[in-house]
Structure formats: C-alpha cells, structure tokens
Chains A and B, each alone.
Chain A
Amino acid sequence: MKFLQAALTGMLLGGLHALMAAGLSLSWGVLRIINLTHFGLILLGAYLTFQIASSWHIDPILTLVVTVPVLFAAGALLQWGFDRLAVTELNSLLLSFGLLIIMVQAVSNLWTADFRQMAIDVNPYATGSLSVGRLVFPSTTLIAFALSVLLIGAGHQALQRTFIGRALRAFAMDRTVAAAFGIDHRRISILLAGIAGGSAAVAGMLFALSTALTPFTAFEWFGIVFAVVILGGIGNVVGTLLAGLLVGALSSLASVIHSPATEPFVVFSLIVVALLVRPQGLFARAGGH
C-alpha cells in the first residue's frame, strides 16, 4: 500500500517537473536554444507569487494573473535578444548561464538569500490534502499535477491543431523551408519563448505553494529537469510529461523501498539504461528532430 501511495504521490509531483521541463524542451527543440534562463524565470515567478500574495493577501493561484503576462514578456524579450545575437546551441547554453547568474543574484538582492515562505494564512494549500480511501494526496501536488496536465495537454493540442502550432512544428523540422512558406521565424520564436515564460510563471507559483524559497535553489533543479527533458525527447511536450511522471514515480518508490539517499542513484541509473536502449528518448517519436 505504501508503495502505491509513494508511486502515486511521486507521479503527481513529477507533473511539476514536467511543467518546468516542457518550456525548456520546446525552446530547445524548436528554437535550438538551451535556455537556462528558463530556471531564472521560474525562480522569478516563485518570488513574485510570494511577494504579491503576501503583500496583497490574495490567493497565490490568483497571482498568475500578474505573473504570467510579466514572464511572458520577459521570455519574449530574452528570445528577442538571443535572436539578434544569432547564437549557436552550445553558446546559447553559456550565454543563458551568464544571464541566469545575473537573475539569481538580482533575486537575492531584492529578497535576500533568507528563506521566504508564504505564511499559512496566505497559503492554505501548503498543509491541505485530499483523501481517497486510504490514499492521501497533498493539495499542492494535486494542483501541480492538474495544472501541468492541463497546460501540456493544451500545448500539445495547440501544436497539432492550430495554424501557429503547425507553423511551430514546421519551423522545428526545417527552418529554411518553413521560412520559404512565409513563416516569420522571428515572430514565431518570440511567441514560443513567451509561452515558455508563461509556463515558467505557473511552475514558479507551484513552487512557492509548496516550499520555502531561496534564490540559489535554481541551480539545484538542473539535474532532474534536464533528465526529464532528454528522457521525454527534446521538443516533445507529451513525452516530457510522461517522462516527468515516470521519473517522479520512480524517485518516490526508490525513496520508500530503500532510502532517500539512493533516489538519485536509482533514477539516474534507470535513465542511463533507458537511453542506451532507446537513445532518441523514451517517448520520442521515431525520426524526431
């Protein structure tokens, strides 16, 4: 029973990682940019949620009304910069690393490096939960899962059904030909980056709901998010979601079966095995990008 509980809770938590990873995966797959500033935007989203909710005493989820547009604009602006500089894939990693350092330090200067957490009266979700029989699901994880599935699902549908979505996919497959068909790469890429920024805002809000914040945790997210991105297949949002759920469930199970310290050992070993067996990513479609 406790294994089932662990697997389910872990899976739900994996939704949050998947949401964080989805934005990164899309910009990597479509824009050919490894955008570490995505972590900075998530951090910023978390702190903005904290600040707005604490100062104005509103429900943290409602802060999305402010944070999503702000981070959409921020993401778009950053992409505009990347575009003008025409960086290669590896150089985009380094450029965004430099920018990430700036963002983290800026957050630290604004909010200090001390632990920031919304008080319990502002954030009731932190200790709430939903019981289904003998299984208990924490509120924060449920919300995270629901929002992640919703957003990723919507994103996937948009990519498949809408014109802009198809344009994005065409752009990802062959930039030059897409341009020949009139798809303006600059507008498309800025739009996509903005959307990724918006997703970062949601991910940040979910973080702020569940843990105390400190600026330098942004760097601790790298390992797991990159693992989910590549496992799911770069540019494949649904794959990212599935990968996130899988990794979440596995970590939880490893933690319960043996010990939390072996979590990274089990998870990353399984990732290595999975990659050796299916190098294009567990959930990538054949002939990916």
Chain B
Amino acid sequence: MRAGRSAFATGLWAFPLAAAGLAALSLYRESLGLPVAYLSLLTLVLVWTTQAASWNILSGFSGYFSFGQAAYVGTGAYATAVLYGRHGVSFYLTLLVAAGLCAVLALAIGGLAFRLRSLRGEIFALLTLAVPFILGALARTSRAIDGGQGVPLPVPSFPAQIGLFQDFLYLVGLGVAAGAVWTAFAIAHSRFGWALAAIRDAEPVAEGLGVATFRYKLLALVASAVIGGVGGSVFALYIGFVTVESVFNLNFPLFVIVMSVLGGRTHWLGPVIGAVLVVLLQNRLASSHFESFQLIVLGAILAVLVAVAPDGLTTEVRRRPWPVLGALSGTTLILWLARAPGQPLDWILVGMLVAAVVAVWPGRRRRALSIASAEPAAVAPSSPRPAASLPPASDPAAPPLAPAAPHRAPAAPANPAVLVDCRKVARYFGGVHALEDVTLRIHEGEIVGLVGPNGSGKTTLCSLLSGSLRPTRGHILVAGHDTRALAPHRVAHAGIARTYQIPRPFASMTVRDNVALAVMFGRVRRRLTQARARAEQHLEFVGLGHLAGALPSTLNLHQRQLLEIARALATEPKVLLLDEALAGLNPAEIDVAVEVVRRVHRAGTAIVIVEHLLRVVNQLATRVVVLDRGTVLADGEPRAVMSDPAVIRAYLGRSGARA
C-alpha cells in the first residue's frame, strides 16, 4: 500500500482515464448498444462504492470501526430531499450543503470521541451506531424535515446532450464515486495515509513517534463524513422518494463493512472490489432461479469469502495479480464464446468468483504473509531465517560495528544543557502511588542508567517522560516546555523518543517503512520522498540494513529491539529512552545491543536506559539513578551508587541482585 511517488504519479493519469472510460459508457451508450439497465446497475455500484470508500477512509485505514455510515447517508439524503425536493433549491447546491452538514457532524463526533484518551474501539463503534438512530428520530418527529410521510424528489433539469435521466444520474454518481476513490487513493499515498496506518497498527507508539493522532483521525472522520453525505444526496436522487427507513437504515453500515472487508480494508481499492462483487452478486441472485434460497446463497458466499480471505481480496489479488486477472477475463470470455446460458452480467459474476478462487488458492506467494491481528507476539517465534541473519560481531557478512570501545564518550561539554527536568513528579493510579516526589534531570551527553527492583516505577517514569502519561503532581519540562501542556506527539517533537520493552513494530509495514514513518513525523519533519532513504541509513546504523524489506513478524526478538531503537532514533531525538531494551536477549545479542547504544551516544543523543542487568549499566552509564517503590533512592556516579548501603539493601533485601 505504501507505494512511493511513482504509484501516485501513475494514479494521476490512470484515474482520469478510468473515469473517462466509465463516463463514455453513458455518453456513447447508444452507439455502444449498452442497455439502460446496465447504467442503472452501475449507478447502484457507484453509490455503494462511494459509501464503502467513505467508510474505509476512516475505519479501514485507521482501525476505528464506525457503525454510523447511515448517519451520513441520511443527512445527505435529507439535505437534498428537503432543500431541493421540497423547497426547490438547486440540486447542486444541496450537495454542498450535505457536505457541510456532514463535516459539522463529524467534527462534533470526533471532537468529543477522539479527545477521550480512554476511548476504546467498541465504544467508538457504539457512539457511531447511536448517531443514525438519533438523527432518524429527529427527522421523523420534525415536520420541517420529514414528519413521517417521506419526501419526494422531482427529476432535476440537466443538459439535454446528456441523454436520459439515467445517464444524468449515472454521471453524477460517477463523479462522486470517482472523487471518493481518488480521495482514498491520494490519502493512501500521502503522509496522511502513513499516519493512519500507524494509528491502526499501534496508536500510542505512533503518538510517541510524533504523529499528531488526534488531528489525523479527525481529518479522516471528516473526509469520510463528507464523502458519505454527498453520496447520500446522490442516493436520494436515485430512489426518488426519501423515507427515514430507507436512508437511516442499518443496511448501510453492515454492507459497507462487508464490502470493505471483503475487498480489503487496508487498501484504497478494496471497497471498489467489494462493492462491485457484492452488488453484482445480489443483483444476479435476485434475477436467478434461487428465489427463496437467494439469501441463503448470498449468506453462504459471504461467509465463505470472509473465511478464506480474512485480509480481503485485494491483498490476495496483489499476490498473484496476473493469474487472477487472467482467470476473470478468461472465464468471462469462454462463457461468452460458448454462448453460455444467462446474461453477460452472469458471466462476469462467475468470472469474478472464479478469480476469487484463484486468488485465495493456497500455493506459492510473492510476498510473506502479514499478520491479521495487530497483537504483537509476546515472544518472537523462531525466526524463519537462519541465524546468519543476526549481525553478530563474528559474522563477516554482517556490517561491521565498531569494536568494543571504552564506554566513556568523548569528554562531555563543560556545562551540559538540561534536556529534561523533572520536578517533584508524582503519578498515582487510583490508590497506587507509582511515583512519588521524583526530581531528576537529564543533561546533554549523558547516559543515565535507571535501575531499581520490579515495580519501582521505571516504566511509569518512562511513560511520563515521553508524554504518554501526565504527572498527577509536579512538572516535567522537556527543552523548556511543560509536558502537561503538550500533546504526546509534541513531546516527541520536543526531542524525546522511547522504545518499548516488548517491541511494538507497525505490523503491516516493512522494517524500512517502520523507520521511514518515524523519519517523516519526527522532530524534524521530513518529506515522504526522502523518508525511505534516510530510514535505510538508520537501519544500517543499528545493523538491520539487510532486513529492510522484511515484515516485523519475521524478525526475532533481538532484531525487533534493534528496530525499536532504529525507529526511535529516526525521530532525531535529543533524549532516547530505552525501556528494558535488552530483555530476553542472550549474552551475544546483549553485546551487540550495547555497542549500538554506544554508537547512538557517540552520535550525540542523550540516553536514559532502564535496565535490570547491572553489568550493562556499569558498562554504559555515566550516571545511575536508583528507584525504589516510586522514589529516587540514589542518583550519581555508578560506582558510588552501587556501593551505597541503602541501594544494596533495596536490592538484596528484596528481589536479590542479579549479576
């Protein structure tokens, strides 16, 4: 999906061409001998494509599933029905009104829902489900809008050259649908699309890398709403008589979800494929001999398709595009030449189904599978690649890292600047005092080791420093800004980056793209075109250059942790927080990681390393801070801190020291 510039450039001429071709079906309908009924069916396909694309822009791309599609359809439909149908306002003007109303609606929903930090997926889904019910009841009770009897729409005037009303409707629908799909395409190929994908995969991580999640989610919601609303206006014209049941109808959210997921919800083309398949399927079933079994066949086909293509057909098609296209055209051609019974539409449908079978048929694939769910594996399964992919110091093929050097960095500047300043910071979780009265500073050029027994508050402190949590009391200043006043992504822009103890890569992106995203949204905003090149540099830096094209699911734990570091580095932070980055590694891997940390430090980044392994802390840290049960026990030179009797008591007296 995250193709580069060239794909976008292709789109710039391919889209108008496709749209022109489809428009020609209507403009030259008579010379082509196309029955008017085909236009009507195509219009229905376009209506659903618009709605599915609308849904996908928010829910498919960002993962926030909305059940409120009917709200946009209804708002748009009634805007047109009331203004144009009842009061004679220009039809085209009502499209703008529909867009405006839906934008306001989306701003309201998003402004409320996305502000909630604790909003979970199902809650958002219900919020959006509630909206059509509310609006529908409003339309029904208000005589100004509907009042119960429905609103008829006359046929608008249109230039005579266009032909029949069906042509006009088709062209309007085509315009709207083309706009919708083009918007999805443009988003997918822009920063916006990358941001949404990151939000989908791991939103808190994205925030920590500098992605302005609230803004992007709201934008996606507004785009989705506007498209859905304008699509609703077209729908009103299509049915000619608007009632609450026909537009505020649960059919819309259910079927757009079916279409988008069947088609492939992470891809801009998914809704198109899904809409074409489902509408054609329903139409052919209605005209078929199945009658009272028609819905059973529909349900069965839907169930089977969801079961065999859980990531959507687009993903499967892209793995073997030529066989699939060949199957589609081949089957249709054969049926046509053989004068098979039925109509051309039936042959096309059979062709599509056969192509779907070909697409999901197990066998050789062009690319590795991506994981369907966003759960990061707790422990990496054994890597499919041989151990030689590890860049151990002994492997001549791996990019050489500098040999072990004394851990003292070149002399620290005389008066190091204060990068992070914590003043009497406390953080409570209900009755649990995770941190109490913590005061510490991070200076330029330091490697601060943050140690302490389990439960002492190390990870909480990391979250506070990176801005994903707010202190209950006290202040944290990053580069002079109080983090309380900053959204998490702004804290990242102020210069803090963190890694996670259990690595959380963006599962749907390659290793390179994971880092490229951080490059784009980091402290220094970079353009999409440069991002990948810079990403590769960062990957080389940590020794993952040779895995740039792999998916994170194929990496082992060590490689994932290196990826975490690379990604964090790509935001060009001033302070890098490493939260138990060495957990679960074997000694050889630890050495590699330590070397990487040294490289990072030498390049000028201050580091806070949370670690249990005291030998590593001794090797690396210029300063050690010991936390115990939420308070700072000691803070100073490593040797001095380690021989502090209070520190020894805290370790030996409780969990016991680990070597």
Contacts and interface: CB of A to CB of B under 8 A. Distances in A.
Contact of B137 (A93, A262, A286): A262
A131 interface: no
Contact of A279 (B65, B123, B430): B123
Interface in B116-135: 116, 118-120, 122-123, 125-127, 129-131, 133-134
A105 B295 contact: yes
B460 to A, nearest CB: 16
B123 A227 contact: no
Contact of A87 (B113, B258, B262, B307): B307
A227 B140 contact: no
Interface string B429-443: 010000000000000
A261 B140 contact: yes
Contacts of A271: 126, 130
B14 interface: no
Contacts of B133: 223, 264-265, 267-268
B469 to A, nearest CB: 16
B310 A227 contact: no
Interface stretch (B39-47, B297-305, B358-366, B638-646): B297-305
A87 B294 CA distance: 25
Contacts of A127: none
Interface in A57-105: 85, 87-88, 90-91, 93-95, 97-102, 104-105
A272 B302 contact: no
B305 to A, nearest CB: 8
Interface in B134-158: 134, 136-138, 140-141, 148
B104 to A, nearest CB: 16
A234 interface: yes
A30 B113 CA distance: 26
Contacts of A269: 130, 134
Given A226-B126, A271-B126, A272-B127, A98 B134 contact: no
A99 B65 contact: no
B123 A230 contact: yes
Contact of A91 (B118, B137, B299, B310): B310
Given A104-B295, A265-B141, A280-B118, A272 B306 contact: no
A280 B134 CA distance: 21
A219 interface: yes
Contacts of A136: none
Most chain A CB neighbours (cut-off 10 Å) among B113, B130, B136, B258: B130
A101 B295 contact: yes
Contact of A226 (B129, B137, B373): B129
B293 interface: yes
B299 A90 contact: no
B7 interface: no
Given A94-B261, A97-B302, A279-B116, A105 B293 contact: yes
A160 interface: no
Q: How large is the interface on A (under 10, 10 to 19, 20 to 34, 35 or more residues)?
A: 35 or more
B418 to A, nearest CB: 37
A78 B123 CA distance: 26
A275 B112 CA distance: 10
Interface string A91-132: 101110111111011101100000000000000000000000
Contacts of B130: 227, 268-269, 271-272
Contact of A109 (B119, B292, B430): B292
A226 B258 CA distance: 18
B258 to A, nearest CB: 6
Contact of A276 (B65, B116, B310): B116
B258 A97 contact: yes
Nearest to B113: A276
| Interface-central residue, B293, B295, B306, by most chain A CB under 10 Å | B306
A262 B254 CA distance: 24
A95 B126 contact: no
A49 B250 CA distance: 28
A3 interface: no
B126 A286 contact: no
A269 to B, nearest CB: 6
A259 interface: yes
Contacts of B296: 101-102, 105-106
Contacts of A98: 298-304, 306
B428 to A, nearest CB: 14
Interface string B86-119: 0000000000000000000000000011001011
Nearest to B121: A89
Nearest to A281: B123
Interface string A176-212: 1000000000000000000000000000000000000
Interface string B22-55: 0000000000000000000000000000000000
A280 B137 contact: no
B414 interface: no
Contacts of A268: 130-131, 133-134, 137
A22 B137 CA distance: 27
Nearest to B254: A97
Interface in B368-425: 372-373, 378
B257 interface: yes
A272 B126 CA distance: 8
A52 to B, nearest CB: 24
Contacts of A97: 254, 258, 299, 302
B256 to A, nearest CB: 11
**Closest 7 CB pairs between A and B?**
A101-B299, A98-B303, A98-B302, A265-B137, A102-B299, A105-B295, A268-B130
Given A98-B298, A234-B122, A271-B126, 20 more contacts: A87-B307, A93-B257, A94-B258, A94-B306, A97-B258, A98-B301, A98-B306, A100-B299, A101-B296, A105-B294, A106-B296, A263-B137, A264-B136, A265-B137, A265-B141, A268-B137, A272-B131, A276-B113, A279-B120, A280-B118
13 contacts: A85-B307, A87-B306, A95-B303, A98-B304, A176-B378, A223-B250, A227-B126, A262-B137, A262-B141, A264-B136, A265-B141, A272-B130, A280-B118
Interface of B: 65, 112-113, 116, 118-120, 122-123, 125-127, 129-131, 133-134, 136-138, 140-141, 148, 250, 254, 257-258, 261-262, 292-296, 298-304, 306-307, 310, 372-373, 378, 430
